[in-house]
Amino acid sequence: MSRTGRDIVLERLHAAMRRATTADLQRAAMFLEWAWGVRNGCSRQRKGARTAQANAWKKGVDQDVRW
């Protein structure tokens, strides 16, 4: 069975964890949490931009007139 890219990266990470100190592991965990937050924020920003673009045509259109 062939290994995926994720499997290879996890093996490298496991080998690095065996050599790391507790402080190294703490800094790595904090960095990964920060990176997740950045990625999540970028996704949220892109979603907002797509929504704004989809609704941009409404800015130049008069509202419906109902009697």
pLDDT at 59: 82
3-state secondary structure of 20: coil
User: Torsions phi, psi of 40, nearest 5?
Assistant: -65, -40
Q: Evaluate if residue 51 carries a pLDDT over 70.
A: yes
pLDDT at 66: 75
For residues 26 and 32, what is the distance between their CA atoms, to the nearest angstrom? 10
Q: Evaluate if residue 63 carries a pLDDT over 80.
A: no
What ranges do the domains of the chain cover? 7-48
At residue 28, what is the residue type?
A
Instruction: Report the share of the chain in percent with pLDDT over 90.
Output: 66
Report DSSP letters for the chain, one per residue. -PPPHHHHHHHHHHHHHHH--HHHHHHHHHHHHHHHHHHHHHHHHHHHHHHHHHHGGGGGSPPP---
